[in-house]
A and B are shown apart, each in its own frame.
Chain A
């Protein structure tokens, strides 16, 4: 009984609730920790995009030619098309589970900024899908005959590109939250918006493969990521609220 009294002593009006509200950073860390923990408890979802990426990359030598000297020319396109498709694959689940069990509702009613909470979720999503893809892209590059000198460029460009993909994907996933079997629609919504990422990313990779400086394209990719970070959470939060309504 005494515990209940303790709880009620912190009722607003007693003036304690503001001091007990955690900081935005603490909340973001909590969200991140939660999503990572959840992901590792059902890790099959983590492996699927990576396996898909490897599989798509394998299709091209089989469909075109096994000669590394020729594959090298199309390697940047293959890597980027495969990376975009693989990061799309995982998007459908970005908010779906949380929407189904009512967690998203609780976030929307928590009194915290939904943009911040969704940003944290998107960051977790990138850590779980984007970053592993970026780490795997150089490996796929080697398999496509890319010289080792180009691998840092591939790593850097895919890292930046997947950040933007996760952000765009958060918007797409939030928009299609109320749609059953949203997979194809989600791709149709997200891919046209991802074209600039594809163009700059593939170009940076191409330059890296040719051994030319690719810093300018990386800067453009970074600019896209920053732009996405500022606007995508707003759009995603608006879409989530509409879908909860």
Chain B
């Protein structure tokens, strides 16, 4: 039954089992790092002389923002690989990653607006970073909407891969045009990230959180990939054997 999967490495049972074996190796370090980062960021790091304690939401906001972009890029790369080498596992990776990326983007928007309340006195400002993030969220919604619009999974995979590649080419253009737009209107931008001199007691927990979030993403991706592979191969014999075993 394995006609659809050429490459032995990318064969579904292999991917399914490897992903299952690898997931804990990402999940546990992620949990430890995130707890450590939170302790470091929320208790050990000193309050900011300007923002007080409000800046601490950065420890969730910034890693989410990084992942929102990273996951979109990953989706495009996986989609491109799937298109060029007709490797279906790559499409499964993209399909598994999209909702996670959308969630990180949503988290970035929510934490950004919570941060905005003490900083700007309002939950929403048309700050360039938040605006770009909002547009990225629409790109994710479009991607998932396009995927869902096709009944034929293979077509959904390939069409949405083209969209992801188009999107990733456009993300920088959208971002810089938004930054440019913002500079015209002198909008507020008081986010902490651009600040060059961050004391190590603030910076180290942030870096730990970046790493922790990335590992967390990898763990969730592997688990979702297992589900994705199972669903795609639900008629295959190995799946029946795997489940009855």
Contact = CB atoms under 8 A, between A and B. Distances in A.
Interface stretch (A27-35, A40-48, A182-190): A182-190
Contact of A192 (B142, B146, B184): B142
A178 B138 contact: no
A196 B141 CA distance: 19
A200 B141 CA distance: 24
Given A178-B150, A178-B159, A203-B181, A192 B138 contact: yes
B198 interface: no
Contacts of A191: 138
A238 B164 CA distance: 13
B190 interface: no
13 contacts: A171-B166, A175-B159, A175-B162, A178-B152, A185-B142, A185-B146, A192-B135, A193-B170, A193-B174, A199-B178, A227-B173, A239-B162, A243-B159
A192 B174 contact: yes
Helix, strand, loop or mixed for chain A's interface?
helix
B83 A193 contact: no
Interface string A120-139: 00000000000000000000
Interface in B85-140: 135, 138-139
A203 B155 contact: no
A177 B93 CA distance: 24
A81 interface: no
A193 B166 contact: yes
Interface of A: 171, 175-176, 178-179, 182, 185, 188-189, 191-193, 195-196, 199-200, 203, 224, 227, 231, 235, 238-239, 242-243, 245
Contacts of B162: 175, 235, 238-239, 242
B47 to A, nearest CB: 37
Helix, strand, loop or mixed for chain B's interface?
helix
Contacts of A224: 173
Contacts of A199: 177-178, 180-181
Give the size range of B's interface with the partner: 20 to 34
Contact of B155 (A188, A235, A242): A242
A33 B23 CA distance: 58
B37 interface: no
Contacts of A238: 83, 162
Contacts of B166: 171, 193, 231, 235
Contacts of A185: 142, 145-146, 149
A175 B163 contact: yes
Interface in B146-165: 146, 149-150, 152, 155, 158-159, 162-163, 165
Interface centre among B141, B142, B145, B169 (most CB of A within 10 A): B142
Interface centre among A191, A192, A235, A243 (most CB of B within 10 A): A192
Nearest to A182: B149
Contacts of B152: 178
Contacts of B40: none
A224 B178 CA distance: 14
A178 B177 CA distance: 32
Nearest to A245: B155
A242 B145 contact: no
A227 B142 CA distance: 22
A179 B188 CA distance: 41
Contacts of B180: 199
A166 B65 CA distance: 32
Given A203-B184, A231-B169, A188 B142 contact: yes
A224 B145 CA distance: 26
A77 B141 CA distance: 25
A243 B170 CA distance: 23
A175 B139 contact: no
Given A178-B159, A238-B83, A242-B155, A195 B146 contact: no
B231 to A, nearest CB: 21
Contacts of A231: 166, 169
A176 B139 contact: no
Contacts of B135: 192, 195
Contacts of A242: 155, 158-159, 162
B167 interface: yes
Given A175-B146, A185-B142, A189-B145, 18 more contacts: A175-B159, A178-B150, A185-B149, A188-B141, A188-B145, A189-B163, A192-B138, A193-B167, A195-B174, A196-B173, A196-B177, A199-B178, A199-B180, A203-B181, A235-B162, A238-B83, A242-B162, A243-B155
